[in-house]
Amino acid sequence: MADSKYITLVSRDGFEFVVLREAALVSPTIKGMLRSQFIEARTGRCCFPEIDGVILEKVVDYFHYWYRNRDKEEVPDMEIPVELCLELLMAANYLNLEPATGLRDWT
């Protein structure tokens, strides 16, 4: 199970999403969950009791969007529904999906 290509993400309201493991690893939080000796690493099942199904669905969308475009230039932006924007932002923060440190950041 631990070596499966897919992992399962579970939302607060019980929705389950089966995601390509490599795509989900973009999130350092999930990466951490799967690397260590936690139960998630053994079962390949990550529960997010703070994230609603609607939001997690978008997050999963993003994972695959990111995975598809990981080496491309000129990637078209993913549409973010305005009404989910804030909650999605919180989820992104929780999952550590932060912008890469820019060039100006020399320290």
Partner 1 sequence: MSRQNRPPRRIVGPQSALTDFLASHNISAHQIRLDADARRRAAQNEQDEANDQTNDQAAASTPAPFPAVSASPARATRSRRAEGTGAPDEAARSKEQKAIDKIKASKKFQKRKRGLGDSEDEDDLVDALLKRSAPLPGQMENCEVCGTRFTVTPYTRNGPNGGLLCNKCGKELEKDDAAAKKKKQAKRAGGGAVGMRRQLQSNILDGTYTLGAKSLMTLCIETLAKNIDLAEDLGDLPPSIMDMVARKLSKHRLLDSRTLSLLLNPTAEEVHVYDGAKLSSDDFIRIFRTVPGLKRLKVRNGIHFKDDVLDYLMSRHIELEEFYVHGANLLSNSKWKEFLQQKGRSLRSLRVYWTDKHFGDEVLSLLESACPSLTRLKVCHNQEVTGTGVVTIGNLNCLRHLSLDLRNEVHPDVYVGVLSKIGPSLETLSLTRVRTGDNSILDAIHAHCRSLVKLRITDSEEMTDAGFVRLFQDWANPGLVFLDLQKCRQLDSTHPRANADGIGLCSDGFRALMAHSGKTLKFLNVHGCRHIQAAAFEEAFGPEKVYDAMRKLEISFCEEVTDFVAGSIFRSCPNLRELNVFGCMKVKDVRVPRGKILVGVPNAKGMVIEGDDEDNE
Contact status: 5 vs partner 1 (CB under 8 A):
no
CB of 28 to partner 1, least distance (A): 11
CA distances to 17, 29, 69, 89 from 73, in Å? 28, 26, 8, 24
Which residues within the stretch 11-40 sit at the binding site for partner 1 (CB under 8 A)?
A: none
Binding mask 71-100 for partner 1 (x = CB under 8 A): xxxxxxxx-x-x--xx-xxx-xx-x-xxxx
Contact status: 43 vs partner 1 (CB under 8 A):
no
3-state secondary structure of 45: strand
* Residue 28 CB contacts under 8 Å (≥ 6 apart), including other chains: 95, 96
Amino acid at 58: K
Contact status: 57 vs partner 1 (CB under 8 A):
no
Pairing verdict, β 16-20 and 45-47: unpaired
Residues that bind partner 1 (CB under 8 A): 59, 62, 65-66, 69-78, 80, 82, 85-86, 88-90, 92-93, 95, 97-100, 102-104, 106-107
